[in-house]
């Protein structure tokens, strides 16, 4: 347990009584706690900026506030440097299998569309851009500087990254969540909520669709449904290939994120295993993409 983080939570001047925070598992860029304050429950996220991952907490908090205003994320009730408090959502965290259920997929797509179209109406202050191809290039440069154990992979990764970027082509800019893991969706029985805005920023909407698919193993039929519903027009082979390219860069980015985290993260998490898992997913997706050429 991170004692300094715990002390910071206990010492917040937000509380109306003495509190006893309980660790909340699952965070791999933050330390999280559940706090009961006179019968009202909150989640506290503790984490400083992580420049190596492009995580800036001012941006995360601004995105989370805008997402709440758009009706898709819990309210932030307090924030200070490196820490914020949001209302606790009593509900069930999704698994990848949950995401793949059609009724849930329909609800998720509604959240994604609200993220892309409604959050910019509420976002205050400067905002970041999340261009996954730049993110991958930056991770490779960072990992090379740190003499990563994966050095031999990087020349090929750079070539593939460039190939994928060209295949995506022109884009329309929207506000993206950019981290659509199953665990970032919580169902309270009435509403579905989208959490964790660490990587939020302007991007192409195609990345969120591809990220959702690559993280949750959607079928090709489900991908077609998402593309047709999101774009409100029949899917084409060109659009399928662009989605496939984005799936590849989504998985390449996740692999490189883990490679860099192996070196820089201080959290207790098996990053080597996570690297292996995502590298395998990336290679499978890239093989599928090449077969479409």
| Per-residue pLDDT tens digits for 133-162 | 999 999 999 999 999 999 999 999 999 999
Predicted local distance difference test score (pLDDT) of residue 3: 58
Start-end ranges of CATH 3.90.1200.10 in the chain?
A: 96-291
The CATH architecture one would assign to domain 96-291 is Alpha-Beta Complex (3.90)
Q: Which residues contact 81 (CB under 8 A, 6 or more apart)?
A: 48, 57
pLDDT of 28 higher than 80: no
**For residues 50 and 123, what is the distance between their CA atoms, to the nearest angstrom?**
21
Burial of 81 (0-12, 13-18, 19+ CB in 10 A): exposed
Predicted local distance difference test score (pLDDT) of residue 1: 47
CATH number for the 3-87 domain, one of 3.40.50.970, 1.10.10.10, 3.30.200.20, 2.40.110.10? 3.30.200.20
pLDDT of 2 higher than 70: no
DSSP code of residue 50: B
Start-end ranges of CATH 3.30.200.20 in the chain?
A: 3-87
List the beta bridge partners of residue 42: 35, 87
pLDDT of 89 higher than 70: yes
Query: Helix 132-145 and helix 237-264: axis angle, to 10°?
Result: 30
List the beta bridge partners of residue 267: none
Residue with tokens 């205003």: 69
Determine contact, residues 247/227, Cβ cutoff 8 Å: no
Instruction: For residue 202, count other CB atoms closer than 10 A to its CB.
Output: 17
Higher pLDDT, 3 or 174: 174
pLDDT tens profile 164-209: 999 999 999 999 999 999 999 999 999 999 999 999 999 999 999 9
pLDDT tens profile 109-140: 999 999 999 999 999 999 999 999 999 999 99
């Amino acid at each position: 347990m991170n004692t300094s983080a715990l002390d910071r939570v206990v010492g917040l001047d937000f509380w109306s009584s003495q509190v006893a925070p309980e660790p909340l598992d699952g965070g791999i860029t933050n330390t999280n706690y559940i706090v009961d304050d006179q019968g009202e429950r909150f989640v506290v996220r503790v984490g400083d900026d992580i420049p190596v991952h492009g995580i800036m907490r001012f941006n995360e908090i601004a995105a989370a506030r805008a997402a709440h205003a758009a009706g898709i994320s819990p309210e932030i009730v307090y924030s200070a440097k490196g820490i914020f408090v949001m209302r606790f959502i009593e509900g069930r965290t999704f698994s990848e299998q949950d995401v793949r259920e059609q009724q849930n997929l329909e609800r998720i797509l509604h959240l994604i569309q609200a993220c892309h179209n409604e959050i910019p109406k509420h976002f205050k202050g400067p905002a970041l851009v999340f261009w996954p191809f730049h993110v991958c290039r930056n991770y490779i440069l960072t990992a090379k500087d740190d003499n990563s154990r994966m050095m031999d992979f990087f020349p090929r990764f750079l070539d593939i990254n460039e190939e994928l970027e060209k295949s995506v082509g022109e884009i329309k800019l929207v506000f993206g969540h950019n981290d659509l893991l199953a665990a970032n969706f919580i169902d309270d029985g009435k509403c579905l909520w989208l959490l964790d805005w660490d990587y939020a920023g302007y991007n192409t909407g195609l990345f969120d669709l591809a990220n959702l698919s690559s993280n949750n193993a959607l079928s090709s039929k489900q991908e077609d449904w998402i593309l047709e519903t999101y774009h409100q027009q029949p899917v084409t082979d060109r659009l399928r290939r662009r989605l496939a390219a984005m799936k590849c860069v989504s998985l390449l980015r996740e692999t490189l994120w883990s490679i860099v985290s192996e070196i820089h993260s201080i959290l207790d998490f098996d990053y080597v295993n996570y690297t292996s898992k995502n590298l395998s997913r990336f290679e499978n997706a890239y093989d599928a993409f090449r077969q479409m050429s």
